[in-house]
Structure 1
Amino acid sequence: MKDELIKELDHIKQDLINMSDHLYDNPELGDQEYESMKLLTNYLEQQGFQVDKGIVDRPTAFKAEYKGEKPGPKIAYLAEYDALPGVGHGCGHNLIGTMSVGAAVILSKKIDQIGGSVVVLGTPAEETNGAKVPMSDEGIFSDIDAAMIVHPSDLSYSSGDSLAMDAIQFAYKGKSSHAAASPEKGINALDSVIQLFNGVNAIREHVTSDVRIHGIISEGGQAANVVPEYAVAQFYVRAKERNNLNNVVEKVRNIAQGAALMTGTTLEISNYELSYDNMITNKALSDAFNKNLEQVSGKTVLPPKQSYGSIDMGNVSQVVPAIHPYIGFGEEGLIAHTQEFADKTITAEGHQTLANGALSLALTGYDLLTDKALYQSIQQEFNSK
C-alpha cells in the first residue's frame, strides 16, 4: 500500500510545486492570506474535501476534511501560509502549506480502503498572532487523534520542544508639562518605563536559565522639552514550561506596578499578542515520522535542535498528540527569515524537500491509521503527560 502512496505523490507533485511557487511569488502577511487560502482550499475542494472557511473568527483560517467510508482515527495536517515583511516566505511557509495539503490529498486516496478521516487545518498568522491558539481553545482538535506539521530547515531534525511565551504590554499614563519651564507640574510616564526595564534587568539573575525576557519601548514621548505623559513598553516573556512562565510573568507585572508607584503614573497591562504554550512532542508519533522521512529522503534525521523560540503548535500539543519536526534542504547553516531561505524554496532542492515532506507526512498518517499498536502507544503517551 505504501508503494501506492508514492504513486499518488507522483500524480500531484507538479501541482504542489506550482502552488508553492505561486505562494512564493505572492506572499501575504498574517491574517491577510486571502489569496493563499483560496489557492489551497480550491485545490482541496477539487480533490473531494469538504471545506469550511473562516473558522474561529479568523477569515483566512479553514478546515478541510475527507471522511472515509469506514470508521477509524482522524489525522490532522496543519498548513501555514503567512509570509514575513520584507523577505516574503523567508520561513518557508509556502512549503509548509503545500506539504500538508499534499499529504492530506495523498492519504485521502486510500482512506476509503483503510478507514478513518483526514483533515487539513489552515492556520493563519503563525509569525504574529497564531490561529492555532484559538483553534486549541475552541475545541477544533476535540475529535482529532493526532496533529502533524513539518517545517523546512537547513537539515532535518526531530520534533523537539519550544518555550511558552506571553506578549505583554505596559502602558503608563502620567501628565504632560513643559520640561524646562514647569517640570514639577509633570508626571513622566517614560520614567516608569525606564524603571520597569531596570527592574526586569534586576531579576534576570534570579530566574531559571531557560527564561528569556526581551522588550522594547514602543512609545516614549514626542519631544525632549515636553514631559512624556504616555509611554508604552512591550515585552516577550518566555520559559520552558507554562507554570514557570506564569511565575516569572507575575514578577514582571509586580515590577511594572512598582514602577508606577515610584513615579506616580497609572498603569494598564494587556496582552498585545496571543500567548503560546510550550511544545510537547509525542515521541511515538515523532519516531514514526522520522523513520518515514529517513526512508524517503535517504538522510539521517538529527536530534531536536535546542529551541529558545515559541510556536503556536505548542498550544496544539497540549490538547492532542502532536509533532513539529524539521525537514532539511541539505544546506547546513542556511538561516530562516532571510531572503536566501525564501529563495531556496523554489529551487530543485526546495521542490524535492516539498515532495519528501508531503510523502513522509502521508506515510506517517497511513501508519497511524493502520497500525493499532502505534495508535495505542501514541495515545497512551499523550494521556500520561
Structure 2
Amino acid sequence: MEKDLAMDLETLKQQIRQEVERYRSELIDLSLRIHANPELGYEEAKASKWLGDFLAENRFQVETGFCGLPTAFRASYGRGRPVVAMLAEYDALPDVGHGCAHNILGTLHVGAGLAARPVVDQAGGTVVVIGSPAAEKLGSKVTMLNQGAFEGVDVALQAHPRMGAAPVGSRFVAGLNLEVEYWGKAAHAATGPWLGISALDALILAINNVNGLRCQMRDGTRVAYIITDGGKAANLVPEHAAGVFTIRAPDTAILDDVAEKLVNCLNGAAVATGTRLEHRMGLKIQSSRNNTELIRLWTENMRALGRTVAGIQSSSGAGDIGNVSQALPTLLSFISMSPEDLPHHTREWTAIAEGEKAHEALVDGAVGLAMVAADIITQPEVLARIKEEFQDKGTKP
C-alpha cells in the first residue's frame, strides 16, 4: 500500500492542484474580505470565524476558542498519524491594515488544508489547520504550546508571503515585549510643578538610559519602543506614563541578558525621579530552527510549480513560530507576491496584498504546502529523515 502510494504520488499532487483550483475563487474572495476588514491581534473575530466556518463547511472538525483564545481555532481532517499542521495567521497592523499580508497567510493555509484532503482520504493520516491569532503581538503559539496544542503533531508547516526573492527558510531571532508604567504625582505644570512628580520624565529618562545601552549590545540585537501614554494635558504634570519596549536578539541567552539590563535602566529612572515603576514581561519568543529535509521538499515542489526560491535568510525579526520550531520539525518558508523587494509593514504591502500577484501566491502556496504534506504522509522514510534531523540537532537553531 505505502509503496503504491509513493509510486502514485504525482497523481495525488495533480489532485492537490485540482482541489486548489476548485476553491480558487472562494479562497480569493475570503482573502479580500479579510483584507477589507483588518482586525488587530486577539480581536480577529471576523477573520477567525470566516476561516473556521469555511473549513467546517468542507468537512473539517473545527474547535473554536482553541486553548482559551477567543479568536484561535483548530480544524482537523482525517485520523491517525502522521499529523501535519498548517499554521494560519490573520491579524492586521494598526493604521496600515494588512501590511504583512496576513489576509493571504491565513487563507493560504486554509487552502492547503483543503487541498491535502485527497491525500488523507487515500493514504490516511491527519491534516490540521491551526488558527493562531496575534502573530504581530507575539505569543499565541507559545500559549498553545504550553497547553499541549502541538502534542501528537509530527510536522508544522508555514509559508509566509513576502516581496522580492522568496527564501526557503528563515533564521528568526528571539524576541520579547516589555510593557512599562510609571506612576508619579499630578500638579499644575506652571504654578506648582515642584509639587508634582512627572511620570513622563521617568519614562523619557528610561528611554535615554536604554539608548545609552545600545553601544553594549551584541550585533543583531534590536530594541525599539513607543510611548502609549505621555499625559493628558501639557499644563499638567503627568502622574502616569506608559510605554512598550520590544527586544530582538540572536538567541535567548543574549535576549535574557539584554532584558535584564533594560530592566535596570527602567529601575534607575524610577529611583532618579522618585516614581513608582510597574513592568510586565511578555512571553519569550525563541529563535527559529530550520529543517533541511523540509526545505528540500518545499524547494522541489516550488520548482515543480515554476517558482524560484532563494537560500535561507537571516532575519532581525522574530515570530512565535520560533517556539514551535524548537518543539517539533517546522517549515518556515516564504512565497513571493511581488518581484519588487519592498519593506513590509507598509501601505505598499497592504495594496499589493489584495492584488493579482498576491492571489497567485495564495494559490501556489496552498498547492506547495499540500504537496509537502503529501510527501510526508505517503513516504514514511521522508518523515523519518525529518524527525532524525530534528533529534540530532537537539535544541540548536
TM-score of the superposed pair, with normalisation by structure 2? 0.89
Tell me by how many angstroms 1:183 deviates: 4.3
CA deviation string 1:28-67 (max 9, x = no partner): 3322322222222222122211111011222121000012
| Contact 1:216-1:234 at 8 Å conserved across structures | yes
Selected match of 2:369 from 354, 361, 365: 361
Change (3 A) 1:335 1:256: closer
* 1:69-218 matched pairs, under 5 angstroms: 71-154=80-163, 155-218=165-228
2:4 corresponds in structure 1 to none
Shift in alpha-carbon separation, 1:181–1:150, aligned structure 2, 3 A: same
C-alpha separation in 2, matches of 1:179 and 1:150: 53
Cα deviation for residue 184 of structure 1 reads 4.1
Closer/same/farther in 2, CA of residues 263 and 74 from structure 1, 3 Å limit: same
Pick one of 213, 217, 231 that aligns with 1:221: 231
Superposed CA RMSD in Å reads: 2.1
Q: Supply the distance in 1 between the matched residues of 2:137 and 2:88 (Cα, whole angstroms).
A: 15
TM-fit CA distance, 1:203: 1.7
Residue 310 (str. 1) matches residue 321 (str. 2): no
SS at match of 1:316: helix
| d(CA) in 2 for partners of 1:369, 1:163 | 30
Say if 1:179 and 1:305 are closer, same or farther in 2 by CA, change over 3 A. Answer: same
Aligned length, in residue pairs:
381
SS of the aligned residue for 2:143 comes to helix
Unaligned runs of 5+ in 2: 1-11
Secondary structure of 2:100's aligned partner: coil
SS of the aligned residue for 1:323 comes to: strand
**TM-score of the superposition, structure 1-length normalised?**
0.91
Is 2:298 the counterpart of 1:289?
Answer: yes
Aligned to 1:257: 267
Residue 136 of structure 2: SS of its match in structure 1? coil
8 Å CA contact 2:86, 2:156 repeated in 1: yes
Pairing partner for 1:338 from 346, 370, 376: 346
Q: Deviations over 1:133-167 (max 9, x none)?
A: 21122110011011111111123212112222211
Distance 2:38 2:228 in 1: 27
Work out whether residues 90 and 341 of structure 1, in 8 Å CA contact, stay in contact via their aligned partners in 2. yes
**Residue 267 and residue 323 in structure 1: after superposition, are their counterparts in 2 closer, same or farther (change >3 A)?**
same
1:180 is displaced (CA, Å) by: 4.9
1:23 aligned partner:
34
Does the CA contact (< 8 Å) of 1:156 and 1:302 recur in 2?
A: yes
Q: Larger deviation: 319-328 or 302-311?
A: 302-311
Q: In 2, distance between residues paired with 1:181 and 1:38?
A: 55
8 Å contact from structure 1 (residues 151, 326) kept in 2:
yes
Does the 8 Å CA contact 1:123/1:130 hold for their aligned counterparts? no
Report the alpha carbon displacement of residue 265 of structure 1 after superposing the two structures with TM: 1.9
Amino acid at match of 2:299: N
Secondary structure class of the residue paired with 1:309: strand
Question: Which runs of 5 or more residues in structure 1 are unaligned?
Answer: none
- Cα 1:29–1:192 change in 2 (3 A) is closer
Cα distance in 1, alignment partners of residues 18 and 233 from structure 2: 66
Matching of residue 14 in structure 1 with residue 14 in structure 2: no
Deviates more, 1:128-137 or 1:205-214: 128-137
Q: Which residue of 1 aligns with 2:6?
A: none
SS of residue in 1 equivalent to 2:39: coil
Distance in structure 1 (CA, Å) of the matches to 2:288 and 2:252: 10
SS in 1 for 2:23: helix
Identity %: 38
Quick check: 2:15–2:118 contact (8 Å CA) kept in 1?
no
Per-residue Cα deviation, 1:303-331 (whole angstroms, up to 9, x for no partner): 23332122121122122211221101242
> 1:318 aligns to what SS in structure 2?
helix
Q: Which has the larger displacement, 83-92 or 56-65?
A: 83-92
Asked if 1:324 is matched to 2:332, the reply is yes
| Structure 1 Cα separation of the partners of residues 173 and 332 of structure 2 | 13
Structure 2 vs 1, CA of residues 225 and 96 (structure 1 numbering), >3 Å: closer, same or farther? Answer: closer
Q: Counterparts of 1:325 and 1:373 in 2: how far apart (Å)?
A: 22
2:123 and 2:378 in contact (8 A); partners too: yes
Are 1:347 and 2:355 counterparts? yes
- Structure 1 match to 2:308: 300
Question: What is the SS of the residue equivalent to 1:342?
Answer: helix
Matched, 1:50 2:25: no
The alignment status of 1:378 with 2:386, answered yes or no, reads yes
Cα shift at 1:2: 2.2
Separation in 2 of the partners of 1:343 and 1:190?
A: 37
Q: Per the alignment, do residues 173 and 46 of structure 1 end up closer, same or farther by CA in structure 2, a change over 3 Å counting? A: closer
